[in-house]
Structure 1
Amino acid sequence: MDIELLVRSLSQPSRLVVESSAQVVDAVEKYAKDAAAKNDAYRYGKAPFPVTIGPTVGTSPAQVLHELGVATTLLTASPLAQVARHWAHVRYCATLTRQRGMLGLTPSAHSLVYHHKVTQSEQLGIGLALVVAKKVLQRQYRQWTFFAVDAEVALKAGFIDGVGAVERTSKSQKRPDYFLVGHHSSGRRSRMKIVVLECKGTHQPPSFAYGQLARAAVQVRTLSVGGRRPPSLMVASCLAGRQITSYVLDPPGDDELWDGNPDDFDELLHSRPEDHHWRTRPAAADEARTWPAAAADAAPAGTAGPASADELPPGAPEVFDVPEERRGWFTQILTRAVAATALLFAGDSDTARHYATPRQRGDEEPHSGQLRLFELDPSWATSTATSQPVADGLDAQGTLYRAPLPDGKALEVFRGVESSLYRQLAEGQVAAYLRAAPLISRRWSRSRPRDGVVSLGRDGTVLTIRVTDRRR
Structure 2
Amino acid sequence: MKRADVLRDLAQPWNVAVHSTSDLAGSVAKAATADDKAKREKGQAPLRRKPELRPLPIKPLGISLQLTPWDVLHSLGRANVLARQGAGRGLAEHWASLKYCQALTGNDGRYMALSTEGRNPRRHYAATQSGELGIGFALALARRVLAAQYPDHSVSVIDAEIAMRAGWTLTGKEAGRSSAPRRPAFFLEVWKPGEPSRVIPVTCKGTHGHATQVHKQLATASADVEGIHIGPYNETPTFVFGTTLPKKSESITLYLLQAPGDGTLWGAKDLRLDPPVEDRSIAPGIDAPTDPHEEPPVGYHVRPEECSWFGRVLAQADAAGLMAFTGGGEPTAQYLTKRQGKGHFEAFTHAGTGIVQDVTHTIHGKKFVGTDHVFRLNGVRVEAFSGLAEDLFDHLRDGRVEQYRHEVHTLRDSWDSDPWDANWRGPVSLHPDGTVMALRRLRLS
TM range (shorter): 0.7 to 0.9
1:416 counterpart residue number: 387
Alignment CA distance shift 1:142-1:163 (3 Å): farther
Greater mean alpha carbon deviation, residues 337-346 or residues 436-445: 436-445
User: CA 1:169–1:212 in structure 2 vs 1: closer, same or farther (change >3 Å)?
Assistant: farther
Is the CA contact 1:20–1:248 (under 8 Å) kept in the aligned structure 2?
yes
Q: Is the 8 A contact 1:20 1:247 kept in 2?
A: yes
| Equivalent position of 1:37 in the other structure | 37
> How far 1:183 sits from its partner (Å)?
1.2
2:435 aligned with 1:464, yes or no? no
Query: Is 1:97–2:105 an aligned residue pair?
Result: yes
Which position in structure 2 is the counterpart of 1:60? 68
Secondary structure of 1:256's aligned partner: coil
- Of 83, 98, 102 in structure 2, the residue corresponding to residue 75 of structure 1 is 83
SS of match in other structure, 2:167: coil
- What is the Cα-based RMSD across aligned positions, in Å? 2.8
Question: Match for residue 278 of structure 2?
Answer: 274
Q: CA deviation at 1:272?
A: 2.0
Q: Are residue 51 (structure 1) and residue 56 (structure 2) matched?
A: yes
The count of corresponding residues between Structure 1 and Structure 2 is 423
Match of 1:391 in 2: 364
1:326 aligns with 2:299: no
Corresponding letter in the other structure for 1:14: W
Q: How far did 1:160 drift?
A: 2.5
2:321 alignment counterpart: 341
Partner residue, 2:414: 443
Deviation for aligned residue 1:259? 6.4
**Matched residue, 1:141:** 150
Contact 1:227 1:321 in 2 (8 A): no
Gaps of 5+ in 1: 288-315, 364-371
**Quick check: 1:41–1:317 contact (8 Å CA) kept in 2?**
no
Equivalent position SS for 2:442: strand
What SS class does the counterpart of residue 109 from structure 1 fall into? coil
Unaligned runs of 5+ in 2: 40-44
CA deviations 1:420-471 (Å, max 9, x no partner) are 11011112111221222244343322788332110001111100011235x3
C-alpha deviation, 1:273, in angstroms: 2.3
Offset of residue 254 of structure 1: 1.9
Q: Which amino acid aligns with 1:87?
A: A
The one of 371, 388, 401 equivalent to 2:373 is 401
By how many angstroms is 1:361 displaced? 2.5
Q: How does 1:125-164 map to 2 (within 5 A)?
A: 125-162=134-171
CA distance in 2, matches of 1:374, 1:181: 27
Is the Cα contact below 8 Å between 1:42 and 1:214 reproduced in 2?
no
Say whether the 8 Å CA contact 2:415–2:431 is kept in structure 1: no
Counterpart in the other structure of 1:351: 331
Q: What is the aligned partner in structure 2 of residue 12 from structure 1? A: 12
After superposition, the Cα gap between the structure-2 partners of 1:122 and 1:164, relative to the gap in structure 1 and judged at 3 Å, is: farther
- Could you tell me how far 1:113 is from its partner in structure 2? 5.8
Q: Which residue of 2 aligns with 1:85?
A: 94
Detail structure 1 runs of 4+ shifted over 4 Å in the superposition: 258-261, 282-287, 372-375
Identical pairs, percent? 27
Kindly provide the amino acid, as one letter, of the partner of residue 343 in structure 1.
M
Give the AA of the match of 1:460: G
Flag the 1:250–1:459 CA change in 2: closer, same or farther, 3 A. same
The 1:19–1:169 alpha-carbon spacing in structure 2 relative to 1, beyond 3 Å, is farther
